[in-house]
Amino acid sequence: MSQDYICERCGQPAKIVHHKRWLNRENINDLSVTLCWDNLEALCQDCHNKEHHKQERHKRYRFDENGGILPPYQKNN
Q: Confirm whether 9 is domain-assigned.
A: no
Beta-strand pair 16-19/62-63: unpaired
Residue 77 lies in a domain: no
For residue 65, the enclosing domain spans 16-70
Residue 44 lies in a domain: yes
Cα-based angle 20, 59, 55 (whole degrees, multiple of 5): 10
pTM: 0.63
| Cα 66-72-9 angle, rounded to 5 deg | 120
Query: Structural domain tally of the chain?
Result: 1
Quote the percentage of the chain above a pLDDT of 70. 77
Find the angle CA(61)-CA(63)-CA(65) to the nearest 5 degrees.
Answer: 175
Listed residue (23, 20, 14, 16) closest to 39, CA to CA? 20
Give 65's pLDDT tier (boundaries 50, 70, 90). Answer: confident
Rounded CA-CA distance 40/59 in Å is: 27
